[in-house]
Every structure is written in C-alpha cells, then in structure tokens.
Structure 1
Amino acid sequence: MRSRRVREAGADVLRRQGLDRHAAAGGEGVLPRQGAFPGAAGRHRLRLPRGLGHARPLGRRLGVRLHVASVEQAIKDGIVVDDGRTPRNRLQIGTLLNAIEEEGYTAAFGGGRRDEEKARAKERVYSHRDEFGQWDPKNQRPELWSLYNGRIHEGEHMRVFPLSNWTELDVWDYIRREAIDIPSIYYAHQRRVFERGGMLFTESEFNPLRDGETVTERTVRFRTVGDLTLTGCLESDADDLDKIIEEVAASRITERGATRGDDKFSEAAMEDRKKEGYF
C-alpha cells in the first residue's frame, strides 16, 4: 500500500468523519510519508456538528490537498436528486462517485473494518469497483498470503481498507498509543436526546419528534458518526480513552449494530448500498 506504484497511480485517502478514518489518517503506522496522497472528505449538512472541523487541520498536518465532496453542492449541481425521503447517506453515493471520476482517482483508502457489519466482513482489503463504481461481492479477488491484486481497467478504481482486520478495540488502543486527536463527540458529554426504535437520537430540527417521544438531557457518547437522523448515541460516562477502552472491551455488539439506523432498514441494507458505490 505504501509502494510508489500505488502513489503514482492516483490514489486518494478517502476520509469521512468516522473514528476509523481518524485512525487511518492520523497515525504514523497506517499511511505513508507526508504528502504521499491527496485527501478527500465527504460532507453534508446533516452531520453531527461536533464531528466536523477535523479534516482541514489534519490535512494541513499531513501535508495533503483536501478535496471536499459536498452533498449539498451535488444537489445544487444536479448530480444527485433530493426527493425529501432519501437519507443523506444514500445521496453520498452519487456525490462520491462523481468526485472520484472528476479527480481521476484510481484508489481510495478508507477505514472500514470487517467486524463492523456482515457486508464488510466479506469485503476484500482491495475492493474492486467497476466503471460504474459498483461492487460485486460474488466477483472478488483472492488475497492469499496477504498478496493484493490492484490491477484495474480504464474507468475502474479500488477501495482499499487497511484496517479490515482490526476491531473497534484495536482502533481505540491505536488512538491511545499514537495520541491521535479525535472529535469530542466520541467522549461522554451532555446532550438533549430522545428515544426511537430502541436508540437515542439527537434533538434537531431535522429530527422532528413523533407522537409519544420526549426530549431529555443525558450523558452520552457516539461510537460511530453519520447522518444525525439515522445515527444514535449511547448512555455512557466514558469521558477519557481509558474508560472508553474498558467500555468497548465489555461490549458484545458492534458500533453499527448498536447505533446506526441506516443498517436496520433490511438484513442487507449495507450490502445494497455498497453494491451501488457506497463507502
């Protein structure tokens, strides 16, 4: 992954606001030398506010060119269509694929892990995407003995997941060891929330209350960050790394399974999105 061939081929560090992306982009042991890759960040206005603001400082520290792909701008430009019902996470698909095509990226590094969700569990470290940006889980390349095949045709690209075999606990251990700065939203804090579908959601103008729902202030933290209308938090008093690591070590359900509503639409919700070109 650090080879000159990969760097010269137009590889890009694909960075959203997720914890794994902070680990992949922020540590010394995962990515190559300073300035080896550009960086891309996906953004939309329904992001949780305290999860924003880390991409630009990190880009400056790593010496990379930051390319922000905005869902709102993609809607204005007619690249994706907002029908008022489609979650922002799905609108990110067209936004991402357009950015990859415009910039000519042939590889995009992400922070996905196999223990997060069953669709990611069967995805390769080098995940091939066809000329339409789509993933075919039935046509993946073997990766015996950690040997990776990065050959692609014109218009195709790779998604590369160097943290595939890590766990959530591995990520937190690495963050502590490397002293990586992460958004405060991952630590316990006071927040006005309401319960829906067994999860706690943030009070927001984008989250209108339904009958019977009430807002209370609780001490919570986020294990994963995404569209605030679909991303829940959990009650926690883990306000430092040691407490978070202790909490994660005792958990028996992944962060996506516990707090991501977009993965609960169907048994194959994540796989369906990934087939279309999702992160």
Structure 2
Amino acid sequence: MTSTTSIPAPSAPTGGTAPAPALTQLDVLESEAVHIFREVAGELERPVLLFSGGKDSIVMLHLARKAFWPAPVPFPVMHVDTGHNFPEVIAYRDDVVARLRLRLVVASVQDAIDEGRVRELPGGSRNPLQTVPLLDAITAHRFDAVFGGGRRDEEKARAKERVFSLRDAHGQWDPRRQRPELWDLYNGRHSPGEHVRVFPLSNWTELDVWRYIEREQIGLPPIYYAHERDVFSRDGMWLTAGDWGGPRPDEAVARRTVRYRTVGDMSCTGAVDSTARTVADVILEVAASRLTERGATRADDRASEAAMEDRKREGYF
C-alpha cells in the first residue's frame, strides 16, 4: 500500500539530438497544466493554490512544482478546513507543507461558526459552510487567482466551467459572464474586487489522475487505498464514525475493507468497498467503474439535481 507523503522532484529535460518521442495523453495534459500555471503567474499578481491533501490538489501541487522548477512554487497554498477532516489527510497536508517549505493559509469553518459568520445545522454537513471562510480568506489576502482541482468529468456543473472562471466582487459565479476560451488563450482580466478561479485539471479524468500518480510515483494519504475501517451505513454510503455527529443510535458500526475515491468532510464523504491496495489496483478499479467519484461517494451532491451549481453560484468551488 502506498502511504508515503513523498513528492518527487520534477525531472529535468533530457539532452542529446535523438528525435523526441511521441507525446502521450498524460504528456499533453501535463503540458497544458504547466502552461496554465505559468500563464497565471505571468498575468495575475496574488495567486493561491487550494491544497486539502486530497489527490487532485496533490497532483496540482506536483504540476505547480514542475511549472516553476528549479525555483520554488511562487505562491502560497490554502486549505478551507471544515474541522471534520480525516486525520490521515491533515497529517499528510502538514507534512508536505513543512517539507516543501510552503506558506499555508488555513480558512477555518469552525472560526466562522464561532464568530457567527455561518450557522451550523444540527446533524448537517459542514461542507456547504466552506464558502464564507473561503471568500473571507480571498478578500483578506487579496488573492486575485485561486487554483482549484475541479475536473469536468466529476459533475455536470463543473463541466460548465472555463479553465479561467471569473468570479464577481461577491465571489459568485455567473455562467453567462464566462469568456470564450479558444485553444490555449486565457483571459484573466477582472475588475477590482473580482477574482479568477483557475482549474489546471479541467480536462483530466479520474483515470488520468491515477495514471499520472502512477507515472510520477506521487505518494498519497493511505485512505485512498484499501484498509480496514469502522464504518456505518447512511443514505447508501459507508461513513466513518466521528465527533461530527455519527453514528446515530440506530446505525450499526461494522469493520469493513474500504477505500476513499475522494476526500472531503467526514460527514458527507463515503468510502467504497475495495481490495485495491496499490496504485495499479486502483487504476483497474476506476477503469471498470461506471459512477463518477462524487456521484458514488459525496452526499452533498445528492441534495438536489443542481446542488453543486447552487453552491458554485454562491462562491463554492
């Protein structure tokens, strides 16, 4: 099982006069993402990269390191912390930040609750509460570009996004205000108070992400691989017991072999039964799946047909 947090240094270009090999699909996707990172760094003044310790943000950070190698990543990373995160993921986040000497900005949902900025509903997920602390942090640090790991294959509202997605002065998303994106030409212009959400992984699929993790030998938190865990069933998903409000008295806890396809707030992120203990095993499992990772394991996306789009219009990623 791969559980190391090592993120290898980007490889240097090869020399010589031999003809260049044909680009693979992963080469093309990597090149596009590196170009996007460099475009933002050259066009905008205060970018930040959302880094939760989830697989997409880990791949995004790896690509950012490649984009600016051998210089360090020229912007901070930010985590919107619900307070109900998986301990393995927080440990991974902190290890990477310390080892790579990154500047971490934490936008805390708990702080927003304590300050009366948001109200927590009994038994509800904190995932929708991330919008206010996210927008507060963007305003406080004057970030004008925010890198996110959203992919178009995850969910239909995310499929509508441009790579450069304009947000208004209130951090809100209006699909009618988005600009055309022809070829690899991106428009980051915005008015004072507005900002741009940037999605370098837009054209990647879940399978592309895992194949890239395999190729680049990127370590992940261990919960992405099959392990034994105490879980209980709610709304057709295996949730982890915790102080967030589960299980209820009528929900029996069972020991099962599971893994996580996506990582978010513990209250709304379900595990899947799995025996995939290596990257190769996960690739085979994902290739055979007919459900997207969010559709299979995220309760917050099941609230309504337009749940994600409603949250995005309010400022969520």
**2:199 aligns with one of 161, 186, 192:** 161
Work out whether residues 15 and 40 of structure 1, in 8 Å CA contact, stay in contact via their aligned partners in 2.
yes
Aligned to 1:53: 91
Cα drift, residue 42 of structure 1: 1.5
Describe the SS at the equivalent of 2:176: coil
Moved over 6 A (4+): none
Alignment of 1:67 with 2:105, yes or no, is yes
Cα distance in 2, alignment partners of residues 165 and 29 from structure 1: 19
Aligned to 1:197: 235
More divergent stretch after superposition (228-237 vs 23-32): 23-32
**1:103 aligns with one of 141, 156, 164:** 141
1:161-211 deviations in whole A, cap 9, x for unaligned?
000000001101111111112111101110111112221111223243446
The verdict on how the C-alpha distance between 1:96 and 1:4 changes in structure 2, with shifts beyond 3 A counting, is closer
Work out whether residues 44 and 144 of structure 2, in 8 Å CA contact, stay in contact via their aligned partners in 1.
no
Describe the SS at the equivalent of 1:146: coil
Cα distance in 2, alignment partners of residues 113 and 42 from structure 1: 18
Work out whether residues 224 and 231 of structure 1, in 8 Å CA contact, stay in contact via their aligned partners in 2.
yes
Q: Which runs of 5+ in 1 are unaligned?
A: none
Cα distance in 1, alignment partners of residues 80 and 66 from structure 2: 20
1:5-40 deviations in whole A, cap 9, x for unaligned?
547511111222322111101346764341311111
Identity %: 52
List aligned pairs for 1:184-223, cutoff 5 A.
Answer: 184-210=222-248, 212-223=250-261
Aligned to 2:59: 23
Cα drift, residue 55 of structure 1: 2.2
What residue identity is the alignment partner of 1:14?
A: L
Cα drift, residue 49 of structure 1: 1.8
Aligned to 2:31: none
Alignment of 1:146 with 2:157, yes or no, is no
For normalisation by structure 2, the TM-score amounts to 0.83
Cα distance in 2, alignment partners of residues 22 and 202 from structure 1: 23
What residue identity is the alignment partner of 2:203?
A: N
More divergent stretch after superposition (60-69 vs 95-104): 60-69
Cα distance in 1, alignment partners of residues 154 and 232 from structure 2: 25
Cα distance in 2, alignment partners of residues 239 and 80 from structure 1: 39
Alignment of 1:278 with 2:316, yes or no, is yes
The verdict on how the C-alpha distance between 1:27 and 1:67 changes in structure 2, with shifts beyond 3 A counting, is same
More divergent stretch after superposition (44-53 vs 22-31): 22-31
Q: Which runs of 5+ in 2 are unaligned?
A: 1-35
Aligned to 1:176: 214
Alignment of 1:78 with 2:105, yes or no, is no
1:119-142 deviations in whole A, cap 9, x for unaligned?
001111111100000001222111
The verdict on how the C-alpha distance between 1:85 and 1:198 changes in structure 2, with shifts beyond 3 A counting, is closer
Cα drift, residue 45 of structure 1: 1.6
Alignment of 1:11 with 2:47, yes or no, is yes
Cα distance in 2, alignment partners of residues 107 and 277 from structure 1: 14
Structure with greater Cα Rg: 2
Cα distance in 2, alignment partners of residues 232 and 205 from structure 1: 16
Cα drift, residue 91 of structure 1: 1.1
Work out whether residues 7 and 36 of structure 1, in 8 Å CA contact, stay in contact via their aligned partners in 2.
no
Cα distance in 2, alignment partners of residues 223 and 51 from structure 1: 13
What residue identity is the alignment partner of 1:16?
A: S
Work out whether residues 48 and 228 of structure 1, in 8 Å CA contact, stay in contact via their aligned partners in 2.
yes
Describe the SS at the equivalent of 2:175: coil
The verdict on how the C-alpha distance between 1:37 and 1:90 changes in structure 2, with shifts beyond 3 A counting, is same
Alignment of 1:245 with 2:272, yes or no, is no
